[in-house]
Chain A
């Protein structure tokens, strides 16, 4: 968001940098996570891929933000940059700030940041089978958290591991604590990932496609569990997904990403009722609908851009049905559409006025 960009970096040791933000309810309490103008690039043999190009979003305690986008939109890379787990090289965070409770994670000493990671910010990965260590029992992997971060004894941490497994509703947790990841089903493995993320009662959880690899009936179980635990612990949750259905079920607000930028932000209900960006509209329209069976599905033409050669102007312009000359030359900033809503489209008003879907 260029209009919010600040030239000088706030002092990372000051707990409350006074930054003007009209949406902030209490100016003395910094929001849980505030990402500002984040930029990440991957320097590859084929050129520099600009994966994240100035992304700003914020999440407060008890809030669920959904980050929606297709593969290559930069939604996962943004999350990895927040967690500080971008593969480097080839990946480099080249700009921006990530404030966690007012402290900039990017300028923090690596050791300080390491202590926060896991304890205060935790992440749930998509593929539990590859994210868990196959040669260690799940009990060992869960209790490791307590031994490293809280200096617990082996015995105590083991008991905590069982408790956690019960909390995420794994049946017969006591008997299964010594089992290995491959002995669990997909849904159960994802529960163990959730248990791991919850272990130290973090303030913020980032869930990267937590249910994509799961079947629908199991997906419903896992999403329900996640929503319930979020309420119970009053955590902030960032849900990264490409599934418009999952988002509608759990999120409070949505940020839609395209080619490394946020193109639209809105409260869930308003976004589904009337999208203000042609890309969002295209995504919603391409879902098969009951009343249009037998007809052609609406398809966004073309392909997402190559990140080493993002088109000038609006990155969506080659695929946009509304594109004009201005879209090919001027990159649209995030225009305020309504309170809590923004859209990076020169013609947001027209898109919005196109009426209810």
Chain B
């Protein structure tokens, strides 16, 4: 299943190309004369491609920089270095009218539907607000009709247009957030933990909706989440982040069935499996310690402080994200990009 998907992805041209993206937040000392004493290296050199119509899942633990990546792609933060090419154009250098035009095509769905909707605005105003900034999408007289269409598309009653967010449940609010993201007919939607605030039975409804919309409007998703089984369900390719770096990236099968990076292996084995029968037979890797501070990351490989395979080489030499030497040229699912000096396959009973 992975092969045809991969070929299809290679034939298509990437809609978004991220190259060595870096975001450092300065740490300063002193009130009047601010001196920079260091930097939180939230994102420290990340590269990936997003193809048209695909879903790229990004997983990682809190503090790994996945949400900062989302904000950088939206140009809500200015990148410290690196490029983001949207259809060949570097959007990190854009400003003014050109930036506004690009932003129309990249929209976002936020994590918490309770704080990302203005409680004083009606649903109609919330979904219609993008039209104020981009009036060319819907002429003034047309807007109300367009908002009602959008409500219908996300499965809400178009008559709810004059209601306020507090009159809706969490799942319905997330639908409103999705409708707002769809308003400008974007090509890319960045979803930052779109279902993690929702109950299990409602999560499935929202995930199904997102899948349906992708087919209908040929959307490309960057789907950021920490729930590995949901990411696997929705994603064509998955990237695993650790402490500002991409540890491993590949198709969902390559990552979940044939992980070669020890962090991915530990992450997958730690996921609680909702089936006692499967649980018995699997090996669990329990990592010791916590994620190091991104203000002072370890030298060499970021993961070496918690890795059971770490050797001197890992402290001295930064492993690059590439197909590991041992798997190069081999026809195996393990031959995908992994940033580890000692990449090898290990039998893990996958999540989901």
Contact = CB atoms under 8 A, between A and B. Distances in A.
A216 B228 contact: yes
Interface string B153-182: 000000000000000010100000000000
Contact of B290 (A218, A223, A298): A218
A286 B286 contact: no
A288 B230 contact: yes
Given A215-B62, A220-B284, A290-B350, A70 B201 contact: yes
Among B266, B272, B279, B290, residue most surrounded by chain A Cβ atoms (within 10 Å) = B272
Among B204, B230, B289, residue most surrounded by chain A Cβ atoms (within 10 Å) = B204
Contacts of A297: 204, 207-208, 233
Contacts of A112: none
Interface string A125-162: 00000000000000000000000000000000000000
Interface stretch (A54-62, A115-123, A240-248, A322-330): A240-248
B233 A293 contact: yes
A289 B270 CA distance: 17
A248 B204 contact: no
Contact of A245 (B204, B226, B266, B271): B271
B214 to A, nearest CB: 12
Interface string A213-234: 0011111110110000000000
Interface in B200-218: 200-205, 207-208, 211
B61 A215 contact: yes
Interface in A170-225: 171, 185-188, 215-221, 223-224
A296 B208 contact: yes
A354 interface: no
B274 A244 contact: yes
Given A224-B286, A269-B277, A272-B276, A217 B270 contact: yes
A294 B311 CA distance: 40
Contacts of B228: 216
Contact of B200 (A171, A218, A221, A286): A286
B277 A282 contact: no
Contacts of B350: 290
Nearest to B252: A293
Interface stretch (A13-21, A91-99, A102-110, A299-307): A299-307
B277 A70 contact: no
A44 interface: no
Given A224-B286, A303-B169, A217 B274 contact: no
A284 B274 contact: yes
A11 interface: no
A71 interface: yes
Nearest to A303: B169
Interface of A: 70-71, 171, 185-188, 215-221, 223-224, 242-249, 268-269, 272-273, 282-284, 286-290, 293, 296-301, 303-304
Given A216-B61, A221-B288, A287-B274, 5 more contacts: A171-B289, A217-B287, A288-B207, A289-B352, A297-B208
